[in-house]
Amino acid sequence: MKDDLYFYNENHTSKPMRLLFCSTNLGKTQEIQYKFGKFIDIQNLLDVGCEEAIPETANSFEGNALLKAQYGYEKFKLACFSDDSGLEVIALNNQPGVFSARYAGVPKSDKRNMDKLLFELKGLKNRKACFKTVIVYIDSSGKAFSFEGKIEGEIIEEKRGEHGFGYDPIFQPKGYAKTFAEMSLAEKSELSHRAIALEKFHAFIFKK
């Protein structure tokens, strides 16, 4: 398994192991690098000169995560992983779900997505929501493995906080008085949906 991690040997840095993350999302990359940074140097698609938007045509997080990881594996012939994630709002029948990134249309805009969600929830008492992540890892033999993370919380009425990305300023995890955007990277990385999935992924790749 360790061999999978030596995917990209030119330009060695002080970090010995590198792994391709099939995403151009800088917010996700930062969180993943924070969690894994001591052990693995994460390279996203931009780092390897790939700016193509990978089609996300499946109707589940797992399906889309698999599409993204397969794209990376086929293009670079390397072990790699992806993250598909989103926000499910109970009162909106679990929308925006897999459409979270493009909820208010294209081009993608975190601001317009949040404004649309706040508008849809205006006057509603039930503001329960959850964030979900599915990470799919494809090893060097082409075998896929998936890891899930979920966190419950609520959509607050006005944006608060400057950190993070996506819907972070309007999502307050259950049992906390701060939104994700009011938390530092270290705080969010202790409890988020992505952190939960990453811990499972980490245990998996280092057990071998």
Quick note: the x/- pattern for ligand IMP over 67-86, rule CB under 6 A, is: -----------------xxx
Burial of 50 (0-12, 13-18, 19+ CB in 10 A): middle
**Of 84, 110, 115, 168, which residue is the catalytic one?**
84
Instruction: Please give the C-alpha separations between residue 30 and each of 42, 44, 50, 164, in angstroms, as whole numbers.
Output: 9, 10, 18, 9
* 132, β-bridge pairs: 86, 150
Is 84 a known active-site residue? Answer: yes
Encoded tokens for 172: 């307050």
56 touches ligand IMP by CB under 6 A:
yes
179 touches ligand IMP by CB under 6 A:
no
Among 165, 191, 200, 202, binds ligand IMP (CB under 6 A): 165
The residue among 79 and 129 lying less far from ligand IMP, judged by its C-beta, is 129
88 touches ligand IMP by CB under 6 A:
no
Quick note: the x/- pattern for ligand IMP over 33-52, rule CB under 6 A, is: --------------------
Helices (H) and strands (E) in the chain, counts: 6, 7
Residues designated as active site = 84
